[in-house]
Amino acid sequence: MSAKKQHLFIDFEFTMPERNSRARGFFPEIIEAGVVSVIDNKIQSQFSTYVVPAHFPILTERCKSFLHITQQQIDSGIPFVELVKYFEELGRNEDNLIVTWGNMDMKVLRQNCAAAGLLFPLKGKEIDLSMEYKRFFGDKNQTGLWKAVQEYGKEGTGKHHRALDDALTTYNIFKLVEKDKRYLEKPKPTTIGDRVDFSKLLNEFV
């Protein structure tokens, strides 16, 4: 039996350096993960966790204020290796489509795996929904996640920059874009000219 198509909507929050500081060797590490698994248009599972950064464990003031996150919350998180194990299990028996808003999430996950000496845990096609959205609507600039939702006349789920809320919001935009794509792909309704044979009609008036 072939695996079912599983859509994984993923959002991470990362560590950030202080402004204008050059911390030696700094690279962003995942400190919060939000994941929504969808099969047959139904949410199968939602996952949310803080993650302890291994290389730069003390959050900068800029990171804490931007993400409204505390050092205590991050210290209570799971080790990165457990997040990788979670993804291995989640994607194992399914045909996965991995959907993120922007390309940073998968870049940082790959970078964090390399730094930890771990294999990248997700197999499947990756979609940057912000680029799909940009192509679809012909926007010149990439749009922020929550701005995109508001352009649809909706509101985001929960709080912006909370990983699970952003993952759910990404899922909601995905549904809206897919619905619009289907609408545009429908054959155009026939025009009145197609329905009425004008040559016959004119002959009656001659």
Question: Which of 156-163's residues contact partners 24+ apart within 8 Å by CB, and which partners?
Answer: 159/68, 161/13, 161/66, 161/67, 161/68, 162/13, 162/32, 162/34, 163/11, 163/12, 163/13, 163/32, 163/33, 163/34, 163/48
- The strand pair at 30-39 and 42-52 is best described as antiparallel
Asked if CATH classification 3.30.420.10 holds for the domain at 5-205, the reply, yes or no, is: yes
Residue 77 contacts residue 50 (beta carbons within 8 Å):
yes
- Residue 59 pLDDT: 96
- Residue 20 pLDDT: 77
Residues involved in catalysis: 13, 161
- Residue 138 pLDDT: 64
| pLDDT in 10s for each residue of the chain, 206 residues | 456 899 999 999 999 998 877 778 899 999 999 999 999 999 999 999 999 999 999 999 999 999 999 999 999 999 999 999 999 999 987 899 999 999 999 999 999 999 999 999 999 999 999 888 777 766 655 556 656 666 655 554 545 558 998 899 899 889 888 877 776 665 555 555 455 554 554 555 44
Q: Tokens at residue 178, please?
A: 């897919």
pTM over 0.75: yes
Domain parsing of the chain, residue ranges: 5-205
- Residue 53 pLDDT: 97
Q: Strands, E, within the chain: which ranges? A: 5-14, 30-39, 42-52, 78-79, 95-100, 125-128
- Residue 206 pLDDT: 44
Q: How far apart are CA 96 and CA 8, in angstroms?
A: 7
Question: Angle between the 163-185 and 129-137 helix axes, to the nearest 10 degrees?
Answer: 40
- Residue 177 pLDDT: 80
Q: How far apart are CA 202 and CA 206, in angstroms?
A: 6
